[in-house]
Amino acid sequence: MDKANAANRAWAGAIRAVLVLTAVAGGVWLYLERGRIREHFEAKERAEVYGIVWNTSLNTARRQAAESGREILLVHLDLQRKSHPHAAGLLALRVLDTEEFRRESGNYVLLLAARTPREPARIRRNREEISRIYNLGERDSGTLLLIDAAGKQLRRIPYQGEPAGELLRRLSEPEEGSSGNTVNQGGEKP
């Protein structure tokens, strides 16, 4: 009986040692591969539209903006809207799908909040969060927002049918009556 108990204790100790070594090895691997793991999960927060990779998560866009020192350009589109899809459709065709916009898009961290017929649940939740934070409703489809890395809305620019160059110029110009300071805080409408 003594030999059997000693053998059982030895096996239990060996199993515990293997489990501890496995946990330590897994922890070291996670630590060493954390950048690649984060990149893998962030890839699920992105979508390629109009030949451009867009963020669909506000948190990911804010982190990228903080790291790069760029502003976030949020484009709000409702492509399911049947009553007045005009602004969103024109923005998509006349601006987002142009070479000029693709060139200038590198100056911003791009964030897309687009309601589409077959959007995945994760992207829908992200879009709904963005719409709630920045008070974007159906009537705001086709609106662009400039946001700083802290998430504060700097400018709200409704699309008015102009070509890409003119809209990009409007984005880069300070708002009338503004000295370049923050115009809107949080998600308030002007």
User: In this predicted model, which residue has the larger pLDDT, 14 or 142?
Assistant: 14
Rounded Cα distance between 131 and 79, Å, is 15
The pTM is what?
0.66
Same domain, 61 and 23: no
Domain that holds residue 114: 44-172
User: Tokens 């504060």 — which residue?
Assistant: 152
Does 165 fall in a domain?
A: yes
Same domain, 80 and 149: yes
Per-residue pLDDT reduced to its tens digit, 24-49: 887 777 777 766 655 545 445 666 66
DSSP-based three-state secondary structure for 156: strand
Per-residue pLDDT reduced to its tens digit, 137-166: 877 778 889 999 999 999 998 888 888 889
Does 188 fall in a domain?
A: no
Same domain, 67 and 150: yes
Does 185 fall in a domain?
A: no
Whether residue 190 is predicted with pLDDT greater than 50 in this model: the reply is no
Whether residue 184 is predicted with pLDDT greater than 80 in this model: the reply is no
DSSP-based three-state secondary structure for 70: coil
Residue 137, number of CB atoms within 10 A of its CB: 11
User: Tokens 């974007």 — which residue?
Assistant: 136
Q: What separation in angstroms does the CA of 73 have from each of 18, 43, 139?
A: 50, 19, 19
Residue type, 71: E
User: In this predicted model, which residue has the larger pLDDT, 186 or 92?
Assistant: 92
Per-residue pLDDT reduced to its tens digit, 99-144: 888 888 889 999 988 887 777 888 888 889 998 999 888 777 788 8
